[in-house]
C-alpha cells in the first residue's frame, strides 16, 4: 500500500499555496523522493522509490478480450497480488469507476493503474490498462494499445473464441505488440480448456502449450501472470537523455484543477514546475502536478521515460486537449508522434434538452463528457419541433446509450435522443458528392430526379461466431437484413465463424436483439466498416394535415418504406389528441403517399335540443357545424404535444 502521509501533505501544500516562479525547484534528493509501500510475491512489505526504477524494469501492458470474459476480475486479482488494494474479498470491478459500468457490468472506459512487483530479486513497475470488450468501444482499445508494448489476450474457457476476441487480437497484432494468451474461468464445470486452446492455436497460430490457464475469480494461477508479462513483454523504447516527449492518449475534467492529461512518456522526463508545449496548438503550459494512478491519482516527483502517468498543467479550456497530441519541453521541440486516426462515427442521433432553458448547461455537460470520450463527434442542430440541439456521432448504438446514461447520471440532465441514423452519401451528375447526416439535408424528389446520379449507404463486414446448430437461423437473419454472405468456416468441430456484408443501417436498429434471440444468447457479433455502396434510398416524411414534421423524417431503403410508414402513422394516431377538426396523418416518399391514418374530430351534439320536428331543421344545424369545421381546419394548427413526440422519437428500450 502507498504511504499516504507524504501524499496528503503534498496535496495540502499544493492546494493552499499557488505555484509561482519564486517557489524552489524540486530535486531528486533523498528527502523529496516518493516511496511506495508494496507487497512482494512472497507477501512481504517493502518500500520502492519510483524514480530509481530504470526503463528496463518497466512493463506497459493491457488486457484485451471479448465482453464478459473476465478482464476486470483479472485486474482486481493483480491489484491484490501487488498490494495496491487489500484482499478483503469485496473487490469487484475496482477499475470500473463509472456508475454506468457497475450497473451494466461492462467496461466502457479504459483505466490505467501502476503496480510494483518483485521478480527475481528486482522491483518492476507494471503499468496496466484495462480495456473495454464491446465493439462500440474499440477506439478506447486502440488508444490504450498505443501506450503499451504487450497485451494479455484473455479467452473464456467455457465460451471459447468470440467475435471481439478475433478483432482485438488483430488490433494488437497490427500494433506490433507482444500477445500473451490466457484461458480464464478454467474452474467452471462447463469449461473446455483443451478445446478452447485448440481454437486459439487454429485461429491465431499460437502454440497451445504456451497458453496459461487461470481463474481470475478464485485466484487459480494468478501468480503466473505477471512473471509471464515480464518475460514476454519488452521494456518501453526511448532514452532518458533525449528531450522530453510524451503522447497524450486520454483526458478527463476535474472541477478543481481543470483538464487532467494521461500521457505515455516516450523520451526524457518531466516534473512539477517544468514548462511543456503542445505540438498541435503550440500553447505553452506550466506543469502543476505529475503522478501515477495507484489506483487513484497519486502525485510523485517526476515521470520518466517509459512510464505512464497523469499531468496537471493548468489547462482550463476543454477545447485545448487533443487526444493523440505530442507534448515536449519548452525550447526543446521534437518530432510529433503519429497520434491516432480520428474515430469515424457510424451512428448519428439528435440530442435536445427537454427544457429549452437548460440548453447552456447541457452544452457545457456535453463538452466535459466528450473530453473524456473523444470518439463522439458534435455538431449543433436546430429542429422546428424540438428547438436547438446537437447532432452527435457515435461508434454504435450501445455507445450512444451509454453516453445518454452518463449525461443523465453524471451531469443530472434531462434530454431527448432521436432515433439513430447513419451517414449517407449523395453523388451528383456534375461529379460532386455530399455526405448526409440528417434527413433534413436529403434532397427532395425534384432534385433527386434532375441532379442526383446515385445514393450510397455505408456497409460493414460483420463477423458472427455461434454453435453449428444455429447456422440456419443466422443465415436467415443476415439475408432478411439485406446481407450478402461471404464465407463461413468451422473454427472447431462445433463452432462456426460467419462473414457477412451488411448495410450499417440494418444493424443500428434491432439486429443485435434478434441475433441473441435466434441463437439463445450463444452468438457473438463484431463488425468493421467496409466503405460505401450504391443503394436505393428514399426520404420518408410525416405530414400532419399537409404540413411536414421535420423531426419525424427518416432516410431508409426503398424496401422498408411501406412497413415503416404504416407503423409510424399507426403510432401517431394513438398518441395525438383529438381536436375540433380532423387530423390527417400521412407518410410520403418520392412524392407518393405510403400510409394514411385519420384522427377524428371532436364534435358537439348540435341536434340535442331538437325534439322531433322536420328533418330540415336538424340538417341546417349539422351543415352549419360542418362549415365551421372546414373554416377551423383551414386556420387551425395540429397540436402535437411533447409527450406524444417523445413516444414517437424515443428509442425503444
pLDDT in tens, 483-536: 999 988 888 778 889 999 999 888 887 788 788 888 887 888 888 888 999 999
Residue 147 has pLDDT above 50, yes or no: yes
| Of 40-54, 231-245, 346-360, minimum mean pLDDT range | 40-54
Task: Answer with the residue of higher pLDDT: 638 or 216.
Answer: 216
pLDDT in tens, 131-144: 887 777 888 888 88
Cα–Cα dist 299/643, whole Å = 50
Residue 244 has pLDDT above 80, yes or no: yes
Cβ-contact 238, 307 below 8 angstroms: no
Share of residues in the chain with pLDDT > 90 (%): 29
What band does 334 get if pLDDT is binned at 50, 70 and 90? very high
Cα–Cα dist 14/19, whole Å = 8
Cβ-contact 555, 538 below 8 angstroms: yes
pLDDT in tens, 553-563: 888 899 889 98
Cα–Cα dist 553/622, whole Å = 38
H or E stretch covering 635: helix 615-635
- Cell numbers representing residue 444 in the block: 427532395
Dihedral sign for Cα atoms in the order 49, 50, 55, 61: positive
Residue 66 has pLDDT above 80, yes or no: yes
Dihedral sign for Cα atoms in the order 262, 266, 270, 275: negative
Please give the pLDDT value at position 49: 61
Instruction: Tell how strand 297-300 and strand 289-293 pair up.
Output: antiparallel
Please give the pLDDT value at position 459: 93
Cβ-contact 145, 62 below 8 angstroms: yes
Cα–Cα dist 395/494, whole Å = 32
**Beta-carbon contacts of residue 349 (< 8 Å; ≥ 6 apart):** 391, 392, 394, 400, 417, 418, 419, 420, 421
Residue 48 vs residues 33, 115, 271, 360: alpha-carbon distances, Å: 10, 11, 19, 48
Share of residues in the chain with pLDDT > 70 (%): 87
Cα–Cα dist 246/147, whole Å = 10
- Cell numbers representing residue 593 in the block: 403517399
- The string of DSSP codes covering 18-61 is ---TTSPPP---TTT--EEEEE-TTS-EEEEEGGG--GGGEEEE
What band does 32 get if pLDDT is binned at 50, 70 and 90? very low
Q: What are phi and psi of 183, to 5 degrees?
A: -100, 125
Count the alpha carbons within 13 Å of 318 in the hemisphere toward its beta carbon.
16
Cβ-contact 279, 322 below 8 angstroms: no
Residue 629 has pLDDT above 70, yes or no: no
Task: Answer with the residue of higher pLDDT: 523 or 343.
Answer: 523
Q: Across the beta sheet with 347-353, what order do the strands follow?
A: 377-383, 387-394, 347-353, 415-417
What band does 273 get if pLDDT is binned at 50, 70 and 90? very high
Mean pLDDT of the residues in the chain = 82
pLDDT in tens, 400-453: 888 988 998 888 888 888 878 888 999 999 989 998 888 888 888 888 888 999
Residue 162 has pLDDT above 80, yes or no: yes
Cβ-contact 52, 29 below 8 angstroms: no
Please give the pLDDT value at position 519: 87
Please give the pLDDT value at position 551: 74
- The string of DSSP codes covering 178-205 is EEEEEEE-TTSTT--HHHHHHHHHHHH-
> Averaging pLDDT over each range in 217-221, 224-228, 485-489, which range is the top one?
224-228
Cβ-contact 249, 146 below 8 angstroms: yes
SS3 content of the chain, % helix, strand, coil (to 5): 30, 35, 35
CA 604 to chain centroid, in Å, comes to: 55
Residue 48 has pLDDT above 70, yes or no: no
Q: What are phi and psi of 583, to 5 degrees?
A: -110, 120
Dihedral sign for Cα atoms in the order 464, 468, 469, 471: positive
Cα–Cα dist 304/288, whole Å = 16
- The string of DSSP codes covering 515-559 is HHHHTTT--EEEEEEEEEEE--EEEEEEEETTEE-GGG-EEEEGG
Q: What is the dihedral of CA 212, 216, 219, 225, to 10 degrees?
A: 40
Q: Which of 351, 349, 509, 348 lies closest to 416, judged by CA?
A: 351
Residue 173 vs residues 29, 180, 410: alpha-carbon distances, Å: 42, 11, 36
Task: Answer with the residue of higher pLDDT: 47 or 588.
Answer: 588
* SS3 of residue 15 by DSSP: helix
Cα–Cα dist 168/162, whole Å = 10
Please give the pLDDT value at position 203: 85
What band does 2 get if pLDDT is binned at 50, 70 and 90? very low
* Range 13-20, long-range pairs (CB < 8 A, 24+ positions): 14/288, 14/289, 14/299, 19/272, 19/273, 19/286, 19/288
Residue 226 has pLDDT above 70, yes or no: yes
Helix axis angle for 359-372 and 397-410, nearest 10°, is 120
Mean of pLDDT values over 147-165:
90
pLDDT in tens, 319-328: 788 888 999 9
Cβ-contact 97, 291 below 8 angstroms: no
Residue 272 vs residues 21, 301, 303: alpha-carbon distances, Å: 11, 7, 10
Amino acid at each position: 500500500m502507498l504511504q499516504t502521509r507524504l501524499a496528503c501533505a503534498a496535496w495540502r501544500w499544493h492546494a493552499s499555496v499557488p505555484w509561482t516562479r519564486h517557489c524552489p525547484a524540486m530535486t531528486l534528493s533523498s528527502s523529496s523522493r516518493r516511496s511506495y509501500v508494496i507487497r512482494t510475491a512472497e507477501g512481504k512489505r517493502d518500500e520502492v522509490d519510483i524514480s530509481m526504477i530504470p526503463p528496463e524494469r518497466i512493463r506497459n501492458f493491457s488486457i484485451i478480450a471479448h465482453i464478459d470474459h473476465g478482464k476486470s476480475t483479472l485486474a482486481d486479482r493483480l491489484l491484490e497480488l501487488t498490494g495496491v488494494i487489500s484482499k478483503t474479498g469485496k473487490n469487484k470491478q475496482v477499475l470500473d469507476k463509472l456508475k454506468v459500468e457497475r450497473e451494466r457490468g461492462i467496461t466502457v472506459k479504459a483505466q490505467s493503474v501502476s503496480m510494483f512487483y518483485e521478480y527475481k530479486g528486482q522491483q518492476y513497475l507494471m503499468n496496466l490498462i484495462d480495456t473495454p470488450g464491446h465493439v462500440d468501444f474499440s477506439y478506447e482499445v486502440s488508444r490504450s494499445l498505443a501506450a503499451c508494448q504487450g497485451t494479455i489476450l484473455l479467452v473464456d474457457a467455457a465460451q471459447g473464441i468470440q467475435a471481439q476476441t478475433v478483432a482485438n487480437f488483430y488490433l494488437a497484432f497490427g500494433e506490433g505488440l507482444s500477445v500473451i494468451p490466457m484461458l480464464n474461468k478454467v474452474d467452471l464445470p462447463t469449461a473446455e480448456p483443451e478445446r478452447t486452446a485448440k481454437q486459439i492455436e487454429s485461429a491465431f497460430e499460437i502454440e497451445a502449450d504456451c497458453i496459461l490457464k487461470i481463474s481470475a475469480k478464485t485466484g487459480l494461477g494468478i501468480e503466473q501472470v505477471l512473471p509471464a508479462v515480464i518475460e514476454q513483454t519488452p521494456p518501453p523504447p526511448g532514452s532518458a537523455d533525449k528531450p522530453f516527449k510524451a503522447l497524450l492518449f486520454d483526458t478527463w475534467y476535474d472541477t478543481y484543477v481543470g483538464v487532467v492529461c494521461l500521457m505515455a512518456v516516450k523520451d526524457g522526463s518531466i516534473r512539477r514546475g517544468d514548462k511543456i508545449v503542445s505540438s498541435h496548438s503550440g500553447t505553452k503550459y506550466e506543469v502543476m502536478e505529475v503522478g501515477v494512478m495507484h489506483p487513484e491519482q497519486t502525485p510523485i516527483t517526476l515521470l520518466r521515460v517509459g512510464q505512464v502517468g497523469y499531468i496537471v498543467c493548468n489547462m482550463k479550456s476543454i477545447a485545448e486537449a487533443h487526444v493523440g497530441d505530442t507534448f515536449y519541453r519548452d525550447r526543446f521541440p521534437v518530432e510529433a508522434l503519429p497520434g491516432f486516426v480520428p474515430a469515424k462515427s457510424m451512428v448519428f442521433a439528435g440530442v435536445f434538452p427537454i427544457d429549452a432553458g437548460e440548453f447552456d448547461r447541457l452544452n457545457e455537460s456535453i463538452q466535459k463528457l466528450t473530453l473524456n470520450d473523444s470518439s463522439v463527434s458534435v455538431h449543433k442542430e436546430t429542429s422546428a419541433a424540438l428547438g436547438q440541439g446537437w447532432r452527435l456521432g457515435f461508434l454504435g448504438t450501445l455507445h450512444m446509450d451509454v453516453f445518454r446514461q452518463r449525461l443523465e447520471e453524471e451531469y443530472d440532465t434531462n434530454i431527448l435522443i432521436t432515433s439513430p441514423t447513419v451517414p449517407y452519401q449523395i453523388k451528383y451528375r456534375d461529379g460532386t458528392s455530399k455526405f448526409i447526416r440528417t434527413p433534413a439535408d436529403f434532397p427532395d424528389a425534384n432534385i433527386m430526379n434532375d441532379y442526383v446520379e446515385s445514393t450510397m449507404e455505408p456497409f460493414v463486414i460483420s463477423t458472427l461466431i455461434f454453435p453449428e446448430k444455429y447456422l440456419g437461423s443466422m443465415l436467415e437473419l443476415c439475408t432478411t437484413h439485406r446481407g450478402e454472405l461471404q464465407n463461413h468456416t468451422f473454427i472447431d468441430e462445433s463452432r462456426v465463424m460467419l462473414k457477412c456484408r451488411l448495410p450499417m443501417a440494418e444493424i443500428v436498429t434491432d439486429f443485435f436483439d434478434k441475433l441473441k434471440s435466434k441463437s439463445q444468447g450463444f452468438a457473438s457479433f463484431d463488425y468493421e466498416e467496409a466503405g460505401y455502396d450504391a443503394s436505393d434510398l428514399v426520404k420518408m416524411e410525416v405530414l400532419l394535415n399537409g404540413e411536414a414534421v421535420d423531426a419525424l423524417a427518416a432516410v431508409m431503403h426503398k424496401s422498408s418504406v411501406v412497413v415503416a410508414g404504416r407503423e409510424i402513422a399507426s403510432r401517431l394516431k394513438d398518441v395525438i389528441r383529438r381536436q375540433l377538426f380532423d387530423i390527417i396523418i400521412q407518410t410520403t416518399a418520392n412524392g407518393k403517399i405510403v400510409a394514411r391514418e385519420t384522427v377524428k374530430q371532436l364534435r358537439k351534439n348540435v341536434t340535442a335540443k331538437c325534439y322531433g320536428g322536420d328533418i330540415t331543421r336538424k340538417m341546417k344545424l349539422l351543415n352549419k357545424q360542418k362549415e365551421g369545421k372546414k373554416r377551423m381546419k383551414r386556420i387551425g394548427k395540429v397540436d402535437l404535444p411533447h409527450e406524444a413526440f417523445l413516444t414517437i422519437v424515443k428509442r425503444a428500450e
